[in-house]
Amino acid sequence: MTDDAISDRAKVLLQTLVRRHISDGQPVGSRTLMEESGLTVSAATIRNVMSDLEERGYLASPHISAGRVPTARGYRFFVDCLLQVQPLEDQAVAILRSQLHPDRPASELVQSASSLLSSITAQAGLVTLPRKEPGQLRQVEFLPLSGDQVLVILVVNDREVQNRVIRTRRPFTQEQLNAAAAMVNQRFAGRPLQQVQEQLLREMRDARSQIDNYMQATLDLASRALDQEEPGDDCVVAGESRLLGSATAEEMLKLRELFDAFERKKDLLHLLERCSQAQGVQVFIGEEAGYEVFGDYSVITAPYTDGARTLGVLGVIGPTRMAYERVIPIVDVTARMLGSALSR
């Protein structure tokens, strides 16, 4: 049978059961459904409907008791067909607006967004770092420091200035550093940084036997100066401990694996990279995320943009029995506000 074959009565009972289970995490019995569903049907009728939904994979009986809990398929049907999304509270909107202010540095905005998602939803919040525009070299300048150290002043794109200290394989005078900077600026200004570095490395390799030691050292200096630093953590996760507060005894046993995934971040980043290709809010329930470690958890994500391109992805991770009707609009609004703040 298809989802369309579910009767209106069954939909009401499934909706009532999911909401009750989200509220207390306990199996829901027919007596509770009879009291809370608003339907004028007997307990026997409710039991029959519940049995049918269980046979079709929407519910499960975790214990010998008559109570049932939603399965991942049950939650999926609830989210797709029965969910009534609530408007975001004015207080939450005010908090987001005050913390995601465009005057703040990008790194602080990302950290704040992750923390806000966690505190407002009482789940774990996560935000990937904004993608940087491909850097184009505008100008480079070298200043000698003590010993074999050189200060590199790199102007990238329109007005981004990067300062870094590098170690050279031989000492350079100020005149030699000026000449090296002039060579780089004359030949490569306006070209992408990665392309410039690849060209320098190619010249060092192809012409090694044809150039003198000084020119070899100059090319090496320029290559080191343009070397892009290895990226650090690509994802900021906040509020992992909040998952402990809402976890049942059975869920606690599975949190260790999830926390390990937070530490590794590999699976998390792969999932978020997939989400960056989509538009709007995405809801992954259980193993829909594609990784076994998320089997008892849901991931709700949304990309944040500058209006023209996707900068990153943010979202919330929590148990499958999270309050979807509240979390979904929080994720949506936070993505919009973070993107707006960063684009200014």
What is the rounded average pLDDT of the residues 70-96? 93
Q: Which of helix, strand or coil describes residue 168?
A: coil
- φ and ψ at residue 79, rounded to 5 degrees: -65, -40
What CATH architecture is 90-129+233-343? Answer: 2-Layer Sandwich (3.30)
Which CATH fold topology does 137-226 show?
Enolase-like; domain 1 (3.30.390)
Distances (CA, A) of 98 to 31, 332, 338: 46, 17, 11
127, pLDDT greater than 80? yes
Domain coordinates in residue numbering, the chain = 3-82, 90-129+233-343, 137-226
Torsion on CA atoms 237, 241, 242, 247, rounded to nearest 10: 120
Q: Which has more confidence, 252 or 89?
A: 89
The per-residue pLDDT for range 43-65, each reduced to its tens digit, is 899 999 999 999 999 999 987 66
Same fold, 3-82 and 90-129+233-343: no
Average pLDDT over the chain reads 85
The per-residue pLDDT for range 97-108, each reduced to its tens digit, is 999 999 888 889
Burial 188-219 (b: 16+ CB within 10 A, else e): beeeebeebbebbeebbeeeeeeeeeeebbbb
- pLDDT given for residue 200 in this prediction: 79
What CATH architecture is 3-82? Answer: Orthogonal Bundle (1.10)
The per-residue pLDDT for range 203-259, each reduced to its tens digit, is 777 655 555 566 677 777 777 777 755 444 578 888 888 888 766 676 777 787 788
